[in-house]
Amino acid sequence: MTLQLLEAEPGTADYKRALAEANRHIERLKSLWRLVTSRDSTADPIDAMLALAAEALNMDVAAVGDFSDVYTSRYAYDKVGILPVGSTFPISDTLCHYVQEAKGPVFVEDLT
């Protein structure tokens, strides 16, 4: 995880593990991107990547957005209609906020 990498002392075993894990995530994303962009599709590659990832993980919603004073959804795969593209939320109301607070992965079984 990126936070673990930032918090680890360079050269330590924790740093090396966190760097290796970050590199694995990067390679997975690159593989997913290659898969999506190699298909004959008129769909936006980011939308297609979110759909593939969500379907592979059996998720109803996957999104990419940006943070400033608020979180803004820029791309979304949303089977349930709760996160339209362009939606804004206070950062404290996002799952990303909980991941940052936990300094690691967070499992949320049901968001309802």
Over residues 3-54, the pLDDT tens digits come to 455 566 788 888 888 788 878 878 877 887 777 677 666 668 888 888 888 8
pLDDT at 1: 43
Task: For residue 56, give the 3-state DSSP assignment.
Answer: helix
Quick one: how many helices (H) and strands (E) in the chain?
Answer: 4, 3
Record the tokens describing residue 34, joined without a space.
């290659």
Predicted model pTM: 0.60
At residue 61, does pLDDT exceed 80?
yes
Output the CA torsion sign for 98, 52, 38, 32. Answer: positive
Is-contact 104 6, C-beta < 8 A? no
Coil, strand or helix at 9: coil
pLDDT at 85 over 90: yes
